[in-house]
Amino acid sequence: MWLVTPERKNEALVGEGSWPVFSRDGLSIAAADSEVTTRIQRFWFDRSHPVQTLLEKIAWPTDWSSDGRWLVVQHPEGATQFDISVLDLRNGGPLRAIVQTRGNDWQGRLSPNQKWIAYASDVSGRAEVYIRPFEGPGESMLVSSGGNQPQWREDGRELFYLSEDRSVMAVSVEPRGDRLDVGLPEPLFSLPIGPQGNGQFVSVFVPIARGSKFLVARRVDDDRRRDIVVLVNWPDAIARGGRGNER
């Protein structure tokens, strides 16, 4: 993993890992130790603490609560396929299941006030975005008409997601006591990404500045790419003072 800053791009290697998520204080990250992982670890940017193993399990972190207590993870779990659970970093204890359906559930994201969790699931037969209460009883509310990669606006009043045609969609979210009023999805812009941008692990956009700006991942063509030239019979070519045969 590389820590990229405006002053020094791609210079600070944080540690070995993948799928990192920031702690809300910006001092550390949680990450799977590899793409085929058996644990989740915590890395401090200033290296003031040793690397900490948070979970010994095949799992990937997807979010960190605003108070620093909860780490949201997705993990394969037998017949229920992928589930969403949380790890209590303050009090310890085992994983606690949050979303566990007969389908795959992934990409859990906590609302800023930690009352709700948005997630993607294919329990309907295709990937959809849902919202449900984070703690306590309550039904899951369907948000999308096909999509995944939910992301909350900083104030929790809007939810963004990626549609099946790779458009970033916005949905208004209005708290009404213990329930939410969820608006209709509206397209914002399309992303120039391939089908791999709709997977279970990748996150190809992040809203910032209250949804007025977005950081997006896109493929960049490398104009510096050159053809590969292979020289054969080069010992004879050197002896003759020639170039050999190019292929």
Q: Find, among 109, 98, 197, the residue nearest to 147 by Cα.
A: 197
Q: Of 211, 194, 210, which is closest to residue 202 (Cα–Cα)?
A: 194
Which residue would you say has higher pLDDT here, 194 or 247? 194
| Mean predicted lDDT score pLDDT of the chain | 84
Which of helix, strand or coil describes residue 239? Answer: helix
d(CA 128, CA 122): 6
Question: Which pTM was predicted?
Answer: 0.82
Identify the weakest region by mean pLDDT among 52-66, 158-172, 216-230.
Answer: 216-230
Q: In terms of C-beta density within 10 A (0-12 exposed, 13-18 middle, 19 or more buried), how is residue 41 classed? A: buried
The whole-number average pLDDT for the span 5-28 is: 72
- The angle subtended at Cα 120 by Cα 117 and Cα 126, nearest 5°, is 150
Predicted local distance difference test score (pLDDT) of residue 203: 82
pLDDT confidence tier of residue 226, bands split at 50, 70 and 90: low
Sign of CA pseudo-dihedral 8, 25, 109, 16:
positive
Whether the Cβ atoms of residue 17 and residue 32 lie closer than 8 Å to each other: yes
Pair 170, 129: CB distance under 8 Å: no
Q: What is the pLDDT of residue 11?
A: 47
Query: Can you tell me the mean pLDDT for 111-127?
Result: 95
pLDDT at 242 over 80: no
pLDDT digits (tens, 9 = 90+) for 145-181: 999 999 999 999 999 999 999 999 999 999 887 789 9
Higher pLDDT, 54 or 230: 54
Q: Is the pLDDT of residue 2 over 70?
A: no
Domains recognised in the chain with CATH numbers:
1-100 (2.120.10.30)
Mean pLDDT along residues 65-94: 93
pLDDT value at residue 33: 82
Which residue has better confidence, 67 or 17? 67
Model confidence at 114, in pLDDT bands (50, 70, 90)?
very high
